[in-house]
Amino acid sequence: MAYPDKLLAEDEEVVRHLHPHWLALVRPVLVLLLVVGGTSYAAALVPAGPAQGTARAVLAALALAVLAVAVLRPVLRWRTTHYVLTTHRVLLREGVLARRGRDIALSRIADVSYRQTLGQRLVSSGTLTIETAGEGAPTVLERLPGSDGVQQLLVALVEEDADRRDAAPAGRDGGGGWDDAAGWDDAGGWDDAGWTSGHRTARL
């Protein structure tokens, strides 16, 4: 699912859009299988009689309640948690009803590191830590898929952002464009003294 373009600046592009690792869905899937299987088995054991329909309805209601809490909620939490790397920043969004978000400009990132246990290495997961200039507590992203690759990508994006800022011109320098030192540089334009070439001199 592409990240909404309305949340991006005009010259900003999404480089990587991630959700937490799929391991976060293992427990809900196991619970789903156990609840469905157990409920079906229990419903089959209900003896025939006038109360059979009521008993099975109660079992179904209990199963739905368990599924809503133990399956639907964690799946929605996983689906609505976004880790987005763009050419300008890192966007973090999470929450189903109550939403939380944070944006970290690439220019503010001071250090990026990752940590993996042996088990996480086997499934390509890990923890990414982002430290920003001027802030105490770092941002920690747990159960991040491909954390080592994301760390390298984020470091490269930070370096590219710094190079782009260093190379950005102070103003437009083409013919008739804006020059940072003198202003409009073609005849009849603005220079340090004011309007030239037959125009009345005007100073700011």
Confidence band of 55 (pLDDT split at 50, 70, 90): very high
At 174-194, the pLDDT tens digits run 444 434 443 444 444 434 444
pLDDT in tens, 16-53: 999 999 999 999 999 999 999 999 999 999 998 888 89
Structure tokens at 41: 């088995």
Give the 3-state DSSP-derived string for the chain, with helices as H, strands as E and coil as C: CCCCHHHCCCCCCEEEEECCCHHHHHHHHHHHHHHHHHHHHHHHHCCCCCCHHHHHHHHHHHHHHHHHHHHHHHHHHHHCCEEEEECCEEEEEECCCCCEEEEEEHHHEEEEEEECCHHHHHHCCCEEEEEECCCCCCEEECCCCCHHHHHHHHHHHHHHHHHHHHHCCCCCCCCCCEECCCEECCCCCECCCCECCCCCCCCC
Confidence of residue 203 (pLDDT cuts 50, 70, 90): very low
- Cβ atoms 62, 55 nearer than 8 A: no
pLDDT for 98 equals 86
Just give the CATH number of 82-167.
2.30.29.30
- Which residue ranges make up each domain of the chain? 24-78, 82-167, 171-204
Residue 105's DSSP bridge partners are 89
Q: Can you tell me the mean pLDDT for 134-159? A: 92
> Residue 9 — pLDDT band, cuts 50, 70, 90?
confident
Comparing 47 with 134, the larger pLDDT belongs to: 47
Q: Which amino acid is at 177?
A: G
